[in-house]
Amino acid sequence: MQLLLDLHPDAYPLGGYRRKQLLEWVFVHGVGEFSAMSNLPAGVRAELEAEYALNPFKLVETFRSADGSVKYLFTLPDNRQMEAVYMPYLDRKTICVSTMVGCPAKCAFCATGALGFGRNLTAGEVVGQILAVARGEGLSPRDLRNLVFMGMGEPLLNYDATILAARILLHQDALGMSKRRVTLSTVGLPKGIRKLALEDDLGIKLAISLHAPDEETRQRIIPTGHANSILEIMASAREYQQVTGRRVTFEYAMLRGVNDSVWQAELLADLLRGLVSHVNLIPMNPWEGSGFEESTEQEMQAFYDALEARGVEVSVRRSRGRDAGAACGQLALKQPNAVQAVAGA
């Protein structure tokens, strides 16, 4: 049975105003069952039920934080698990979604890396996270206006499904999101970054998880980093900017005594010279067994000041939902089924 959410909105079944009704039920009202689509004839609903699945998840669990953020743990029909995070702010509602079960990048400080790689998600399984979170929060899916592909997985290694999911999010008959409010985060895959630059009509934002300005440190914390040098990554970022004209964000997890020295901030500033960019410093969200500690406020401030003094646009992105295990992979890592499913892949 085909997952309806895997289809581009232009390819949805039914014709004319019936198709419009179907799209409204899915993306405006966010219903999880065809039987709830009350203005569709019973026969049409029965046909849809016979041909399509609407809900990609077998089980949805929520873990709420005192700061208002909510971690969602999804169990798929094959019993694999992945996560999304809902983060409400005063001026916006943001969701961070996964593109894979587990992740092959194996970043040493990331709980998802400890899971290993399970499988790619389909576009519908990515989009389904947004719809499920909206239902869980009592919202219309269109109330979620900011989205980051920054959960479990490397989006550029699941390129086709990620791009299709992005096109569904942006489509006016689906979620109608603004291009400026959708961000794709990558560990830094030059081939994928260059390919993304050629998606002329997509226009979403790019964030590169650099995490270190020197090869020795980067390969220590990102074991797969040896496949693409920092210079190759930076070259692809410059080409991306030349083609698209868009600013590039660099994500930088602050790990005490590993990548938070002032000399590393100075080297990072040198790498960014001439590039229109923004650096997000991210305090590490500690998890048991990681072997890393978050930088102190003093160390982070010194790093911040060194970047700012060299003309780098920089900010600190505070972690949300620490008490709910909101860092990528933390919940799934605690679930025996998830670990076994990924390890056995």
What is d(CA 10, CA 173) in angstroms, rounded to the nearest whole number?
9
Cβ(85)–Cβ(320) below 8 Å = yes
What is d(CA 137, CA 62) in angstroms, rounded to the nearest whole number?
10
What is d(CA 102, CA 115) in angstroms, rounded to the nearest whole number?
6
pLDDT of residue 118: 87
Cβ(319)–Cβ(282) below 8 Å = yes
pLDDT of residue 330: 53
Each of the 345 residues of the chain gets a pLDDT tens digit; together they read 899 999 999 999 998 899 999 999 999 999 999 999 999 999 999 999 999 999 999 999 999 999 899 999 999 999 999 999 999 998 889 999 999 999 988 888 887 767 778 899 999 999 999 999 999 999 999 999 999 999 999 999 999 999 999 999 999 999 999 999 999 999 999 999 999 999 988 999 999 999 999 999 999 999 888 899 999 999 999 999 999 999 999 999 999 999 999 999 999 999 999 999 999 999 988 767 667 899 999 999 999 999 999 999 999 986 655 565 545 545 555 554 443 333 322
**Residue with the two structure tokens 């080297």:** 267
Compute the C-alpha angle 196/199/202, nearest 5°. Answer: 105
The β-bridge relationship of strands 52-53 and 59-64 is: unpaired
Sign of CA dihedral 176, 61, 122, 199: positive
Cβ(34)–Cβ(54) below 8 Å = yes
pLDDT of residue 342: 31
- Let me know if 258 is exposed, middle or buried by CB neighbors in 10 A (0-12, 13-18, 19+): buried
147 - beta bridge partners? Answer: 95, 182
88 - beta bridge partners? Answer: 93
What's the predicted TM-score (pTM) here? Answer: 0.90
Compute the C-alpha angle 192/198/201, nearest 5°. Answer: 120
What is d(CA 224, CA 239) in angstroms, rounded to the nearest whole number?
23
pLDDT of residue 338: 42
Q: What is the pLDDT of residues 162-202, one digit of tens each?
A: 999 999 999 999 999 999 999 999 999 999 999 999 998 89
One-character DSSP codes across 287-323:
-TT----BPPHHHHHHHHHHHHHTT--EEE-----GG
Active centre residues (catalytic)? 83, 328
pLDDT of residue 287: 66
252 - beta bridge partners? Answer: 281
Element (H, E) at 208: strand 205-209
- Let me know if 51 is exposed, middle or buried by CB neighbors in 10 A (0-12, 13-18, 19+): exposed
Three-state DSSP class for residue 191: helix
Q: 72 to each of 3, 280, 338, how far by Cα in Å?
A: 20, 24, 14
Q: 184 to each of 45, 117, 218, 230, how far by Cα in Å?
A: 35, 19, 20, 19
Q: What is the pLDDT of residues 82-115, one digit of tens each?
A: 999 999 998 889 999 999 999 988 888 887 767 7
The β-bridge relationship of strands 117-120 and 100-102 is: antiparallel
Element (H, E) at 26: helix 16-27
Tell me, rounded to whole angstroms, the distance of Cα 79 from its chain centroid. 21
Q: Which among 171, 76, 180 is positioned nearest to 126, based on CA atoms?
A: 76
How many H helices and E strands in the chain? 12, 14
The β-bridge relationship of strands 248-254 and 314-316 is: unpaired
pLDDT of residue 289: 66
